[in-house]
């Protein structure tokens, strides 16, 4: 050891606990995803589930998403015109930064997301009125009934409650992060190139995507919002 003042590293006397094996990740099939979207309608988690499943955003990114980064009408006057989109620029991580620099991205919204977020905006307005002086304004898209930020436990509990009673789904076996895994799996099944999937989920390169989502990636022979609209269909957008 340094300068011979300690003859033995006491850490070597400690045994390292084995810990518990991680739970294998999984993804919803298309049929299961459709069942989840239908079954979650009318719940407080509906918009969250739709956006997570159809954009692949991380749960910590959605919990930090604010309305000033949501553009439900797009920017039709921009050159070129921009479709409805969200700016995934923040997370609940320390300092508010996204996981990596490449994680900071702007994602076009499938029509189903646009519809769900319009409804979320309206529902939150009613929550604000009902809460009165108890409302805390943080500008969050997904918040508690009084406007407070959600933590991971809040989201997981509400997510599993929204899945209760859906045929073919055991709510206790699923977590919100697996909506992101499902996004990757659904795109890969439709032949979307790995490079495109990597950009959509905010990875620095395809190696990261392959490592994390190796069970969800299918062999690719042949972007996000367009493909998801093709899979699920787009609900009519509000004017």
pLDDT in the model for residue 118: 97
Q: Compute the average pLDDT of residues 61-85.
A: 93
Token pair 């930064």 is found at 97
- pTM for this structure? 0.80
The DSSP output letter for 190 is T
- Rounded to 5, what percent of the chain is helix, strand, coil? 50, 5, 45
Q: Which domains does the chain have, with CATH numbers?
A: 26-204+217-232 (1.10.443.10)
Q: Which residues are catalytic?
A: 58, 99, 180, 203, 213
Whole-number Å distance between alpha carbons of 234 and 71: 17
Task: Decide if pLDDT at 238 tops 80.
Answer: no
Segment 74-131, tens digit of pLDDT: 999 988 889 999 999 877 665 555 555 667 889 999 999 999 999 999 999 999 999 9
DSSP secondary structure, 122-188, as one string: HHHHHHHHHHGGG-----BSS--TTSPPP-HHHHHHHHHHHHTT-TT--GGG--THHHHHHHHHHHH
Is residue 184 classed exposed, middle or buried when 0-12, 13-18 and 19+ CB atoms within 10 A define those classes? buried
């Amino acid at each position: 050891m340094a300068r011979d003042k300690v003859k033995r590293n006491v850490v070597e006397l400690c045994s390292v606990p084995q810990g518990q094996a991680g739970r294998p990740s999984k993804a919803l099939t298309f049929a299961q995803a459709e069942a989840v979207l239908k079954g979650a309608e009318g719940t407080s988690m509906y918009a969250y589930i739709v956006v997570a499943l159809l954009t692949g955003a991380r749960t910590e990114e959605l919990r930090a998403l604010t309305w000033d980064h949501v553009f439900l009408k797009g920017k039709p006057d921009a050159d070129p015109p921009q479709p409805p989109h969200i700016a995934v620029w923040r997370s609940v991580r320390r300092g508010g930064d996204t996981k990596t620099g490449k994680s900071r991205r702007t994602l076009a919204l499938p029509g189903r997301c646009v519809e769900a977020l319009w409804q979320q905006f309206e529902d939150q307005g009613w929550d604000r009125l009902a809460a009165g002086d108890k409302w805390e304004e943080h500008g969050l898209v997904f918040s508690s009934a009084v406007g407070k930020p959600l933590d991971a436990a809040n989201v997981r509990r509400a997510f599993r409650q929204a899945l209760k009673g859906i045929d073919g789904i055991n709510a206790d076996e699923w977590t919100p992060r697996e909506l992101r895994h499902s996004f990757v799996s659904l795109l890969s099944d439709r032949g979307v190139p790995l490079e495109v999937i990597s950009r959509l989920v905010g990875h620095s390169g395809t190696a990261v995507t392959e490592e994390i989502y190796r069970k969800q990636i299918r062999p690719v022979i042949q972007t996000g919002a367009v493909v998801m609209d093709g899979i699920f269909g787009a609900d009519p957008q509000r004017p």
